[in-house]
Amino acid sequence: MEYLPFILIAILALFMAMPLFAWLSSKRMQGNDAPDYAALLAPEQRGKDKLLFYFGSEHCGPCRTLAPLIDTMAERYGNVVKVDVSRQPAAARQFGIRATPTLVLVEGGKVVKVMLGAVGEKQLDVLLR
């Protein structure tokens, strides 16, 4: 029983390290070439230089909260690509997505910005302009 506190601390450390790992891997994506995403685009999105990829899932609470705002921005700007990671896991793997919701801004074929978690309308507006 004298090892129980150490085991609990190790488990807690693992749970704390997982979000950090997701954040670090997302930051490493920035500045790199975007993976091939042509299959994810709607016909009207092809040829656009700036695209915002939204990776979410219907099983994710923050994703369900963010989804209506993403839909509004998609209608307003037309360059938002919604990817459901539970239906398109290959696309999520291709982009290196480790957590949802994740937003990936691709401009000129390069990953410009990666944002983890829910964001506000002003942040999205700034990204998409």
Residues labelled catalytic: 60, 63
Residues 40/83, Cβ–Cβ less than 8 Å: yes
**Which residue in this structure is represented by tokens 């793997």?**
93
Residue 103 contacts residue 54 (beta carbons within 8 Å) = yes
In angstroms, rounded to a whole number, what is the distance separating the alpha carbons of residues 48 and 40? 13
